[in-house]
């Protein structure tokens, strides 16, 4: 007859949660509920302090971010922690900035959880690209001119640049993690046939009190001031007048 101390806890569940662009009031209700009730919170560096403050006082809160390629914590370690804490019976929130399924390594984490037979759920969040378009007062699509939106990044695993080869002006472009040098971005897009007058938006820390926006034409992008990370860029194939941008908040 086994004692109660030998009884293994019922496995918990892992939630891959999108924290949105940073503002607490842009969290989904589902994300807010899970963050406040989780017993374990594994968060990226870009998740705001205001959102982390929602965690329960007794929750284990661990930063597992990898900024600018600095790997203080490996992806394998993150996967192991999610699995270990879930097997201990905890409610684990893997908190990611923006949306977890967009440039957030969710594919690797879901594969690890499936292999370990750990239950998981994905909770979408507001992506920085959509927040940037909203802040600038611009639509990413138009019934008349633009029916496609392309989301891309210039940084892949191990610091390999993603590149913009083949991306032409047939779709609105949302570019994540463009890097600190804007001139190469402009050069590649111009080589791909984007007009020099294409209107660009460079958004830093969008959706937070530290938000900064720069609007310019593509030919001017290389001379634009580099904004602090995180940065997302928008490129609209339809020409907009300068006064079409909403570059300030009430």
Q: Which of 44, 82, 96, 233 is catalytic?
A: 44
Nearest to 32 by CA among 44, 18, 47, 45: 18
Q: Which of 82, 96, 99, 177 is catalytic?
A: 177
Peptide bond into 173 cis (omega under 30): no
Continuous segment of H or E residues that includes residue 204:
strand 199-204
> What Rg, from alpha-carbon coordinates, does the chain have?
20
Q: Mark whether 44 is an active-site residue.
A: yes
Total Cβ atoms within 10 A of residue 101: 16
Q: Which of 13, 66, 110, 151 is catalytic?
A: 66
Alpha helices, H only, the chain: 29-37, 49-52, 75-87, 106-115, 128-136, 183-191
Q: Which residue has the tokens 């007048």?
A: 241
- DSSP class of residue 26 equals G
- Report the Cα–Cα distance between both ends of the chain, in Å, rounded: 69
Burial of 84 from C-beta contacts in 10 A (0-12 / 13-18 / 19+): middle
Residues annotated as part of the active site: 44, 66, 177
């Amino acid at each position: 007859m086994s004692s109660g101390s030998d009884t293994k806890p019922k496995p918990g569940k892992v939630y891959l949660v999108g924290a949105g662009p940073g503002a607490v009031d842009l969290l989904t209700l589902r994300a807010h509920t899970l963050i406040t009730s989780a017993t374990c919170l594994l968060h990226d560096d870009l998740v705001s302090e205001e959102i982390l403050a929602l965690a329960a006082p007794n929750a284990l809160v661990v930063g597992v971010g990898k900024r600018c390629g600095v790997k203080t914590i490996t992806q394998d370690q993150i996967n192991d922690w999610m699995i270990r804490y879930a097997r201990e019976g905890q409610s684990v929130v893997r908190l990611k900035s923006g949306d977890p399924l967009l440039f957030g390594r969710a594919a690797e984490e879901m594969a690890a959880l499936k292999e370990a037979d750990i239950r998981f759920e994905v909770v979408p969040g507001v992506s920085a690209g959509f927040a940037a378009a909203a802040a600038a007062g611009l639509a990413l699509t138009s019934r008349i001119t633009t029916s496609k939106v392309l989301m891309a990044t210039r940084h892949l695993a191990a610091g390999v640049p993603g590149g913009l080869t083949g991306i032409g002006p047939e779709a609105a472009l949302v570019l994540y993690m463009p890097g600190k040098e804007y001139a190469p971005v402009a050069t590649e897009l111009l080589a791909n046939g984007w007009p020099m007058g294409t209107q660009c938006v460079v958004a830093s820390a969008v959706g937070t009190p530290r938000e900064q926006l720069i609007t310019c034409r593509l030919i001017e992008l290389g001379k634009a001031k580099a904004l602090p990370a995180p940065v997302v860029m928008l490129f609209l194939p339809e020409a907009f007048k300068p006064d079409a941008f909403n570059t300030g908040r009430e």
